Structure 1
Amino acid sequence: MKDSLVKKILDARIYDLVIETPLTKAVGLSTRFSRPIYLKREDLQPVHSFKLRGAYNKLLQLPAEVLAKGVIAASAGNHAQGLAMAATHMGIAATIVMPQTTPQIKIDGVRTRGANVVLHGDSFDQAAGHAKELSERQGLFYVHPFDDLDVIAGQGTAAVEILKQMPAQVEAIFLPVGGGGLAAGCANWIKFLRPEIKVIAVEPEDAACLRYALEQGAPATLDKVGLFADGVAVARIGEVTFELLKDTVDEVITCTTDEICAAIKDIFDDTRSIAEPAGALSLAGLKKYAEHANTSEGALIAIESGANTNFDRLRYISERTEIGEQREAVFAVTIPEQPGSFAAFCENLGKRAVTEFNYRYNRADQAVVFVGVQVRAGGDDRAQLNSHLVNCSYPVVDLTDNELAKVHTRYMVGGVSQLPNERVFRTRFPERPGALKDFLSALGGEWSITLFHYRNHGAAYGRVLFGLAIDETEVDTLTAKLAQVGFSIEDETANPAFQLFMS
């Protein structure tokens, strides 16, 4: 299969539509890490992602009688836009089935490129199932987004360009992984031509399907998949892509949402372009590698794989960037409830910049404040600040890595409940019309709602924090009731972010 793939990559004739994207030196990052760092700018493709390569290459391999009937695909956006543009270029009818949760910018991008859009379901799996039904019913050829050798070969042309454009010495190339098409094509070309170069796959921590497959020895399905980096939010690595990746990837690095947000900012700082979360994923992995690498043998290269993101998401990305860069610490600090306490606390912070300060009176003797403080990236400045505050006799709880605190609590400091049987839960639901109503209907009128906080981050899924007047013995009943309609919950009653500020 690998020899066949190399030949297919060599035979790809896609450059009447695809452009050869530049390999751009990231000057700021190179200075910060004291080594050359480069970005392969796939965001500059006509559809602002690498997906055009594979989609177009696949269509070029299909016989005329198949193309005459039309093609169909399921996609959350980038594959859809690539296939739509390629089909229009070739005069072929294309239908794209997209989840109802797809960002509007991607839906509009597909429609303006000439494809028929069908919105179905809340997830890629539901959309894919419907696309396959339509394929069989209408005789349309189904173009898989990643698990197809011709698609993989098209994506692999990005690596052909990298090895032609690259500086003389390269230590590692970082490849984002969702279904694995881009990584499989590029990894096999790199190892075929330059086996000494490290190939490092990068995945989100909450969607690491390649790492899971390598642990299991075969493709396996993740129980849950995070959707922030929607372009790589895949629960199961492809069968074909896994066979091509299992022996060609040297390492798998996983990254948090905050680390991805920080990488988006880094790309903006160096290129003035705004990558989508999946587009910045490989750079997030590169940075983790560079921070801990014992060598500096050559350049590091990351593929900036796409730039299709809703403008609405930028506020969420901006909020998370400082923590992702380890430049902000978030603490709950207890101070005396007396005049002059705030001034004394700020004095003990020294000249550090305060990024956030939330407080509301609720106890006569003590005040708990929610405070964000700038710290130096890397090293142990955050830990030193924590220790300094403790030495100044302040009780401190570090909430920097607490998801509840970052997503909900920081916007809700302002009152507490005295209900003895209140419990608090977190859930998420697809961002589509009627989703919130469906959730509340599923919840029913069996329990009184004591707290509710919902934020739309411009992502595929909205996040909800809700409180109920419910006995502990009834929690299993609630969990089962919501599970029947597709909602899972996490009990956050014991979370210090809740206990300190809202209970």
Structure 2
Amino acid sequence: MNAQLAEREAAPTAASVLRRAETARVYEVAQHTSLERASLLSARLGADVWLKREDQQPVFSFKLRGAYNRMAQLDPSERERGVIAASAGNHAQGVALAASRLKMHATIVMPQTAPQVKVDAVRRFGGAYADVILHGDSYSDAQAEAQRLRDERGATLVHPFDDLEVIAGQATIGLELLAQHHAPLHAVFVPIGGGGLAAGVAAVIKARRPDVRVIGVQASDADAMARALEAGERVLLDEVGLFADGTAVKQVGALTFALCQQYLDDVLRVDTDAICAAIRDIYQDTRSIPEPSGALALAGLKQYVAANGSVEGALVAVVSGANMNFDRLRFVAERAEVGEQREAVFAVTIPEQRGSFRRFCMALGQHSITEFNYRIGDARAAHIFVGVQTARRGEREALTDAFRANDFGVLDLTDDELAKLHLRHMIGGRSPLAHDERLYRFDFPERPGALARFLERMHPDWNISLFHYRNHGADYGRILVGIQVPSSELALLDDFLTTLGYAYVDESDNPAYRLLLCAQA
């Protein structure tokens, strides 16, 4: 007992974490998860990429390991008083399931910003043994409330990361993957929020295989560990981004910082677009959809390969969770193209004169358009927002040169957050120049040349006053087009629509159009 007490009070080491991990009680409830080779991504990157599938746990994240290990070791009097936890979602689910299995009461404080899928899951896993309280806007707010309740009730606080038993529970992931992969191993990538997973995995890997690099990965707008390691002390962030909500922590733990400072080889920062691209990569190789924090490690792995080229040995990314809100998928799909540098976004200014639109299409060459937004607003110049599919790095510069060679003004908006989040969805409102406008929805076949065919068949005296298109991966693209046609030429317009061969709907009398876009409204 004295030896255990001395170890608890001493600074944690790789050896002490390893001893705890080897006897952790995680497998009373958690599973040995698979280590799978990402064959598609390996071929694309020219690297040997593997995924440690913690999304396969009963709560769809690794957090069950640490939570259960901590709670299983409480004495009878502690169990009687119950536990309190704060979590953005995944730790909460682990505590809830552990409470149900161990038949003890848990009060779980979650931020009001926690995804509903996680809140619902906590209530489902905990059943009659768990109460959920929503408090504050971040994990840090929820943590402060949990500490207040602990002091008030005398319950045990099950910390999501800054506890040696929790760290040891998470460390079993490192032991598993070392047992699963016997070939040369270059590096293991782990996501970091408060640091429990990174601290545990780094400690046991360095204790068993000190030659293997362990690299943490953080969202660039929630990088508390990276900043702490740079400063040499823990720092408190004023704000954290919430896209990767599972790792949105303002300050890392004291224990986790000490372990990461000793045993992590590096911490990488990745942006939202890179995370979205990594979500898609995992889906393509596994048909599983991780949550943003669950894809952090792979986003960092890809960044590492891009910076270092081919390496000797395998690269392993821990897929830490898959508690994804379904309504986020629309955003993820849109941003993944940019994150993989498969889409470039431009604002292009062309003369408002006959033939300019066709010259613009010629400048695009064989590139597929992923999005096109335009609303007439100036008698002299047309301002177009366009997304273009790219296949390799450097194509953005080539497209910019092609536009400029045609004397078109161009802004590369690929890295512009305002443009990607908002401007791409705004098409200009009413315009006094949009007289004699007729509005149509078309179904274009998703193939090169469909737009060019439309332009070639359209009467040369008619003007396109509005155009909106976004590629959604279907067989047919949905396109909204405003065409200025004098009333005396409506019969010609009917002939054009009939012979074009594209399915269409006349929206000229649509009440929303009349209210928001029609010049005559």
Name the TM-score, length of structure 2 as normaliser.
Answer: 0.78
How far off is 1:295 after superposition?
Answer: 4.1
2:157 aligns to what? 142
1:44 aligns to what? 56
Q: Is the 8 A contact 1:362 1:415 kept in 2?
A: no
1:446 aligns to what? none
1:284 counterpart (296, 299, 305):
299
Q: Is the 8 A contact 1:71 1:94 kept in 2?
A: yes
**Alignment map for 1:176-325 (pairs within 5 Å):** 176-325=191-340
Q: Pick closer, same or farther for the CA change 1:73–1:248 going to 2, 3 Å.
A: same
Q: Is the 8 A contact 2:35 2:177 kept in 1?
A: yes
Query: Matches of 1:292 and 1:416 in 2, distance apart?
Result: 47
Q: Is the 8 A contact 2:277 2:339 kept in 1?
A: yes
1:86 counterpart (63, 83, 98):
98
Query: What SS is found at the alignment partner of 1:76?
Result: coil
Gap regions ≥5 residues in structure 1 = 419-503
2:421 aligns to what? 407
How far off is 1:391 after superposition?
Answer: 2.0
Q: Is the 8 A contact 1:155 1:181 kept in 2?
A: yes
Query: What SS is found at the alignment partner of 1:234?
Result: coil
How far off is 1:88 after superposition?
Answer: 0.7
Q: Pick closer, same or farther for the CA change 1:326–1:294 going to 2, 3 Å.
A: closer
1:463 aligns to what? none
Query: Matches of 2:212 and 2:328 in 1, distance apart?
Result: 35
How big is each residue's C-alpha offset from its partner over 1:280-324, in whole Å with a ceiling of 9 and x where there is no partner?
000000011112214420110000000001101110111101000
Query: Matches of 1:390 and 1:329 in 2, distance apart?
Result: 16
Q: Match for 2:275: what amino acid?
A: I
Q: Pick closer, same or farther for the CA change 1:373–1:294 going to 2, 3 Å.
A: closer
Please say if 1:355 is aligned against 2:367: no
Query: Matches of 2:309 and 2:404 in 1, distance apart?
Result: 34
How far off is 1:416 after superposition?
Answer: 8.8
Query: Matches of 2:297 and 2:431 in 1, distance apart?
Result: 44
Q: Is the 8 A contact 1:51 1:82 kept in 2?
A: yes
1:64 aligns to what? 76
How big is each residue's C-alpha offset from its partner over 1:172-214, in whole Å with a ceiling of 9 and x where there is no partner?
1101000000000000011111111111111111111111001
Query: Matches of 2:122 and 2:376 in 1, distance apart?
Result: 51
Gap regions ≥5 residues in structure 2 = 1-11, 433-521
Q: Is the 8 A contact 2:66 2:170 kept in 1?
A: yes
Q: Pick closer, same or farther for the CA change 1:167–1:416 going to 2, 3 Å.
A: farther
Q: Match for 1:385: what amino acid?
A: L
Q: Is the 8 A contact 2:109 2:134 kept in 1?
A: yes
Query: Matches of 1:97 and 1:140 in 2, distance apart?
Result: 13
Larger gyration radius, structure 1 or structure 2: 2
1:337 aligns to what? 352
Query: Matches of 1:330 and 1:121 in 2, distance apart?
Result: 36
Name the TM-score, length of structure 1 as normaliser.
Answer: 0.81
Please say if 1:159 is aligned against 2:171: no
How far off is 1:10 after superposition?
Answer: 1.2
Identify the range of structure 1 (248-257 vs 120-129) with the bigger mean alpha-carbon deviation. Answer: 120-129
How far off is 1:388 after superposition?
Answer: 2.0
Q: Match for 1:393: what amino acid?
A: D
How far off is 1:329 after superposition?
Answer: 0.4
Please say if 1:346 is aligned against 2:361: yes
1:397 aligns to what? 411
2:86 aligns to what? 74
Identify the range of structure 1 (225-234 vs 336-345) with the bigger mean alpha-carbon deviation. Answer: 336-345
Query: Matches of 2:69 and 2:327 in 1, distance apart?
Result: 33
Query: What SS is found at the alignment partner of 2:326?
Result: coil
How far off is 1:59 after superposition?
Answer: 0.8
2:394 counterpart (361, 380, 388):
380
Q: Match for 2:79: what amino acid?
A: L
How far off is 1:417 after superposition?
Answer: 11
**RMSD of Structure 2 on Structure 1 (CA):** 1.4
Runs of 4+ in 1 over 3 A off after TM superposition: 415-418
Q: Is the 8 A contact 2:377 2:431 kept in 1?
A: no
Please say if 1:13 is aligned against 2:25: yes
How big is each residue's C-alpha offset from its partner over 1:356-412, in whole Å with a ceiling of 9 and x where there is no partner?
1101111111111000000114x3111121122212221110111000001111111
2:184 aligns to what? 169
Query: Matches of 2:325 and 2:82 in 1, distance apart?
Result: 29
Q: Is the 8 A contact 1:177 1:210 kept in 2?
A: yes
Query: Matches of 1:417 and 1:105 in 2, distance apart?
Result: 43
Q: Is the 8 A contact 1:178 1:232 kept in 2?
A: yes
How far off is 1:63 after superposition?
Answer: 1.2
1:459 aligns to what? none
1:26 aligns to what? 38
Query: What SS is found at the alignment partner of 1:376?
Result: coil
Query: Matches of 2:191 and 2:45 in 1, distance apart?
Result: 21
How far off is 1:130 after superposition?
Answer: 1.4
Aligned residues: 417
1:449 aligns to what? none
